[in-house]
């Protein structure tokens, strides 16, 4: 699946304002380290990203946003039939969190990665749960009805649109592939650079998770 151009033009103003700040923060991380994370304003602070939801986990039980209260959260929207982008991003999340856990065991266990499907038609609880667990043993895979997924994606500023079916009956889903870190209160903190691989994700986690 090629990265679609449309998602970038369908983000809400809040995320568009936040992205330059996130990019600036990433660039700043390449220079000399002067100061702790507490002295740096989170790039997504105050952005209207996230909100309550109730979806379905791998065991068919309801899972709500509030169930993760007290945990740092890594949230990614994708789908299990994605041929390239989603598996690469999910692998970066898993590898980055694993590296962070190794370096900071006590802090690492306070971070929960969450994979929410944008393709509930094919991604049953079992399918999305198994997919998520392939990338990290604690990665939570969530699905739900199309209406609930649509409403949840809107709260998290995620564009998604089902593509035209192929001759074989399959289809792709165009979607925004951002990875957002939320604090224990469920507030957005920063974008995680999954496009740069696991080490970059681990470095960004170490910047904020204290």
Binding residues: 82, 86, 175
How many angstroms separate the CA atoms of 51 and 39, rounded? 26
173: left (phi over 0), alpha (psi -120 to 50) or beta: beta
Separation of CA 28 from chain center: 22
Q: At what angle do helices 85-103 and 198-208 cross, to 10 degrees?
A: 50
How many angstroms separate the CA atoms of 6 and 14, rounded? 17
How many angstroms separate the CA atoms of 136 and 97, rounded? 8
Tell me if 143 sits within 8 A of 125, measured CB to CB.
Answer: yes
User: Would you state the torsion angle of the CA atoms of residues 24, 101, 73, 141, taken in this order, to the nearest 10 degrees?
Assistant: 120
Which residues contribute to the annotated binding site for Cu cation?
82, 86, 175
Query: Which residues make Cβ contacts (< 8 Å) with residue 65, sequence separation at least 6?
Result: 50, 51, 52, 53, 54, 186
């Amino acid at each position: 699946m090629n990265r679609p151009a449309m998602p970038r033009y369908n983000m809400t103003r809040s995320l568009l304002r936040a992205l330059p700040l996130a990019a600036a923060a990433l660039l700043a991380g390449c220079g000399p380290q002067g100061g702790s994370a507490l002295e740096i304003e989170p790039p997504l602070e105050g952005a209207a990203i996230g909100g309550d939801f109730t979806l379905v986990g791998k065991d068919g039980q309801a899972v709500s946003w509030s169930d993760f209260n007290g945990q740092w959260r890594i949230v990614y929207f994708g789908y299990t039939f994605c041929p390239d982008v989603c598996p690469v991003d999910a692998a970066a999340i898993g590898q980055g969190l694993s590296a962070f856990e190794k370096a900071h065991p006590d802090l690492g266990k306070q971070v929960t990665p969450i994979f929410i499907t944008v393709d509930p038609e094919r991604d049953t609880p079992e399918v999305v749960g198994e997919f998520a667990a392939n990338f990290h043993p604690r990665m939570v895979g969530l699905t739900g009805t199309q209406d609930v997924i649509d409403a949840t994606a809107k709260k998290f500023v995620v564009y998604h649109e089902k593509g035209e079916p192929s001759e074989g009956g399959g289809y792709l889903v165009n979607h925004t592939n951002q990875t957002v870190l939320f604090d224990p209160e469920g507030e957005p903190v920063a974008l995680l650079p999954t496009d740069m691989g696991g080490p970059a994700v681990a470095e960004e986690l170490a910047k904020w998770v204290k």
